[in-house]
Chains A and B, each alone.
Chain A
Amino acid sequence: DAKTTQPTSMDCAEGRAANLPCNHSTISGNEYVYWYRQIHSQGPQYIIHGLKNNETNEMASLIITEDRKSSTLILPHATLRDTAVYYCIVRVSGGGADGLTFGKGTHLIIQP
């Protein structure tokens, strides 16, 4: 699996857009980019995933660069409940276990 690099921590003001970067310069053509988050003392929660195109759902938007070597997760209007550790993961789909390999993620702190 391709390795990802994320900042250790970030701050964002409540109500503003939170932009979380992720570098995955060794990503392969068949690897998806997944984002999960983990609120304190809970299990990880799926946010969004993408392959090549930008994606949006009710939680967030995922912007993937054209060369696929980096991506940005955007929380459009951050609230205090968005304070969590955010994990960017790249993983090939199909074959093997499809288990996800988590790094240390980005600790996002939403400031009131």
Chain B
Amino acid sequence: DTGVSQDPRHKITKRGQNVTFRCDPISEHNRLYWYRQTLGQGPEFLTYFQNEAQLEKSRLLSDRFSAERPKGSFSTLEIQRTEQGDSAMYLCASSPTRGFSGANVLTFGAGSRLTVL
């Protein structure tokens, strides 16, 4: 399967601990996105990479959050000193540089669900 892979699928942690999520995008896609989704809401944009460069960060991405994509392939999203409010689904998506028909179609992974106790 050549879709977007995310790991782990589920993570339960205690408040104050650090957690890290990994995303493996579709191999030929050089754009990678992180989103967060809380219960009953649509996904919210967090950050975006083109190759290894992080080009945009949302105001939602506090200084406890850091994302990397060191070789322009997989990406990690780390949350330090987790808080209960960080409990959410963390979604990764990827897209090619130039979408067909001039549009930009994102392919999403299944997400990593974080529960902070």
Q: Do A and B bind each other?
A: yes
- A: residues with CB less than 8 A from B are 32, 34, 42-46, 49, 51, 85, 87, 91, 93-94, 96-105
Q: What would 16 more interface pairs be, CB under 8 Å, given A87-B42, A97-B48, A98-B95? A: A34-B105, A42-B110, A42-B111, A43-B110, A44-B93, A46-B107, A51-B102, A91-B104, A93-B104, A98-B31, A98-B48, A98-B104, A100-B45, A100-B106, A104-B40, A105-B42
Among A42, A91, A93, A104, the residue within 8 A (CB) of B41 is A104
Shortest C-beta distance, A3 to chain B (Å), equals 13
Is the CB–CB distance between B103 and A102 below 8 Å? no
Question: Closest 7 interchain pairs by CB?
Answer: A102-B42, A43-B108, A98-B104, A97-B56, A97-B48, A99-B45, A32-B103
Residue of B35, B40, B101, B104 with most chain A CB atoms under a 10 A cut-off:
B104
Interface residues of B in 66-117 (CB under 8 A from A): 91, 93, 95, 99, 101-111
CA distance A44 to B44 in the complex (A): 12
Chain A residue contacts of B44, Cβ below 8 A:
102
Classify the interface of chain A: helix, strand, loop or mixed.
Answer: loop
Q: Which residue of A lies closest to B91 (CB)?
A: A43
CA distance A101 to B37 in the complex (A): 12
- B: residues with CB less than 8 A from A are 4, 31, 33, 35, 40-45, 48, 55-56, 91, 93, 95, 99, 101-111
Is the CB–CB distance between B109 and A49 below 8 Å? no
Is the CB–CB distance between A93 and B103 below 8 Å? yes
Q: Which residue of A lies closest to B42 (CB)?
A: A102
Q: Which residue of B lies closest to A30 (CB)?
A: B102
Shortest C-beta distance, B69 to chain A (Å), equals 14
Is the CB–CB distance between B43 and A44 below 8 Å? yes
Whether A44 contacts B103 in the complex (CB less than 8 A), given A96-B56, A98-B31, A101-B45, comes out as: no
Whether A46 contacts B42 in the complex (CB less than 8 A), given A99-B33, A99-B48, A99-B56, comes out as: no
